Amino acid sequence: MKPISPCIKFQAISSPVISAYFTYIYTFLRCMIGCMETIIELHDVWKVYGRGKTAVSALQGVSATIEEGEFISITGPSGSGKSTMMSIVGALDLPTRGKVFLRGKDISKMDESDLAALRGKRIGFVFQQFNLIPTLTALENVMLPMEFQDDNGAKKKAKEALEKVGLKDRMGHKPAELSGGQHQRVAIARAIAHNPDMILADEPTGNLDTKTGNDVMGIFGTLHNEGKTIVLVTHDMGLASRANRSIRLVDGKIDGGNL
């Protein structure tokens, strides 16, 4: 029988040791950098609206993870389940079947008040419709959700957020006195003022012209560079390409994308 070469013998002995060593180093670096923790995990998530013949399966067995610090896009045609997936990622809605873990915690085990607190503290939402209250100023609109959370520093944080989105000189204006792009900037300020872990934006440029939409996308890019986790829902592939990773939905199922 041919003897085993010393080189192969060395590899056989050392490769598990080397692999364990690299795993240790990788885990150590991940912990040190702190930017690779999984924020959200979806396990075989189904969402069915209605019952019987009129039931619509908006999500059909979606599994995905979102890591801290990612800029991820959810794309797909109209009706493919993007907004439904965003509602579930943002704990606005629970799945019909399957599991959702937020930082390892099963959200189906949380009651509505825990979920509301979690959304209020850890997630910032931006929608296509800006959803500003017309009778309140920009500053008051940004402060409002923090006041619901009894946040003492609401005014200071709201001012800082409005400054960040370039509206320092518009804080006292009411929505009727602001342009579409400025409305969305106020909405973004409202989403980031409480320093959430994750910003979820559903077609945030859908009601804006191309230039204003690009400016708004620039704000998301800056927020991502500052370490924020961004989930952008869009049917626009040009906007989606600005994200680092893309999940594509077709008929409620993940179809390719860069998982």
Q: Smallest distance from the beta carbon of 252 to ligand ADP, in angstroms? A: 7
**Does residue number 78 form part of the binding site for ligand ADP (CB under 6 A)?**
yes
**Does residue number 75 form part of the binding site for ligand ADP (CB under 6 A)?**
no
Considering only 64, 66, 81, 132, the residue that binds ligand ADP (CB under 6 A) is 81
Q: Smallest distance from the beta carbon of 60 to ligand ADP, in angstroms? A: 11
The residues, any chain, with a CB within 8 Å of residue 233's CB and separated by 6 or more, are 73, 74, 75, 82, 83, 85, 86, 200, 201, 202, 203
Task: Compute CA distances 32 → 24, 26, 118, whole Å.
Answer: 12, 10, 25
Burial class of residue 46 in the structure, from the number of CB atoms within 10 Å of its CB (0-12 exposed, 13-18 middle, 19+ buried): middle
**Does residue number 82 form part of the binding site for ligand ADP (CB under 6 A)?**
yes
Cβ closer to ligand ADP: 136 or 250? 250
169: its two tokens: 């000189």
Number of residues that bind ligand ADP (CB under 6 A): 12
DSSP of 215-259: HHHHHHHHHHHTT-EEEEE-S-HHHHTTSSEEEEEETTEE-SS--
Considering only 3, 6, 16, 50, the residue that binds ligand ADP (CB under 6 A) is 50
Instruction: Looking at residues 52 to 91 of the shown chain, list those that interact with Mg ion (rule: CB under 5 A).
Output: 82-83
What residues make contact with ligand ADP under the rule CB under 6 A? 49-50, 56, 58, 76, 78-84
What residues make contact with Mg ion under the rule CB under 5 A? 82-83
